[in-house]
Amino acid sequence: MNRRLFTTKDGSKTVEIPELDVTYHSRHGAFQESVHVFREAGLEYLKDRSKIQVFEMGFGSGLNALLAFEFSIRSGIEIVYEGFEKFPLDSSIYEALDYSGLLNNPILVPLYHTMCECEWNQSVALTEKFTFTKRLADIHIDKPTPQVDCIFFDAFAPAAQPEMWTSTIFSKMFDTLKSGGILVTYCSKSSVQKAMKEAGFEIEKLPGPKWKREIIRAKKS
């Protein structure tokens, strides 16, 4: 697949796949979407905990993992992060995205590069409070580490990847979560909500970022 950089409306970059007519993040604002959906609706919601175990469905550009790392540094909360990715990006694309510069924290620049360039399927302690593993894996075949607190569900949109938004996949996500754990995603289509409910999730609709009406936080009670 051909992949190229695309500058979104908030000035941050994302990756576009023209053949599929999809981007890795919102065309309206890659950075603002990830902050709103995954950091604010996900990690900030769990900030009363001393440790948060995160699973991300779709490591992609590494932006969501970087936001989790920045959150850990800022809050002092320990995070154990695992991300699945079936089609990793070339290292030159990671360098061009320059996400670490958006957070105005110089310490994140080399660490973002470490996250993107480190070996797949190996656990890396980036700090005493942030353990990072990116797995070259297919969610249809492989299983995430169970008993996580938060799932970042960031697959391509249902129009491009309908097989990722089924009750079968969400049942797998449900089983991955601890009781009381949450799944956050940008997609709030009625068919997606139906699939989540069939898997056992309780659905909470939240206001979306700019240019998007709502997002979903789903809970395992």
Cβ contacts of residue 108 below 8 Å, gap of 6+? 66, 69, 70, 73, 100
pLDDT digits (tens, 9 = 90+) for 120-161: 999 999 999 999 999 999 999 999 999 999 999 999 999 999
Residue pLDDT, tens place only, 154-190: 999 999 999 999 999 999 999 999 999 999 999 999 9
Q: What are the C-alpha distances in Å from 20 to residues 11, 92, 183?
A: 23, 21, 26
Strand order in the sheet with 13-17: 4-7, 13-17, 22-23
Residue 216 and residue 207: Cα distance in Å, rounded?
9
* Cα distance between residue 104 and residue 3, in whole Å: 27
pLDDT of residue 112: 86
Q: How confident is the model at residue 109 (pLDDT cuts 50, 70, 90)?
A: confident
Token pair belonging to 200? 């056992």
For residue 42, name the pLDDT band (cuts at 50, 70, 90): very high
Contact 70, 103 (CB under 8 A): yes
Can you tell me whether residue 197 is helix, strand or coil? helix
pLDDT-above-90 percentage for the chain: 82
Q: How confident is the model at residue 56 (pLDDT cuts 50, 70, 90)?
A: very high
Q: Which residue range(s) make up the domain with 33?
A: 4-219
> What confidence score (pLDDT) does residue 158 get?
95
Place of tokens 């959150």: 71
Mean pLDDT (whole number) for 14-42: 93
- Is the pLDDT at 111 greater than 90? The verdict is no
Structure pTM? Answer: 0.95
155 close to 161: Cβ distance less than 8 angstroms: yes
Tell me which of 206 and 117 has the higher pLDDT.
206
If one counts the domains in the chain, the total is 1
Residue 47 class from Cβ within 10 Å (0-12 exposed, 13-18 middle, 19+ buried)? exposed
Q: Which helix (H) or strand (E) holds 56?
A: strand 51-57
CATH code of the domain containing 64: 3.40.50.150
pLDDT at 141: 96
Q: Are 215 and 206 in contact (CB under 8 A)?
A: yes
Q: Region 103-130: what's the mean pLDDT?
A: 90
Q: What stretch of H or E contains 133? A: strand 130-136
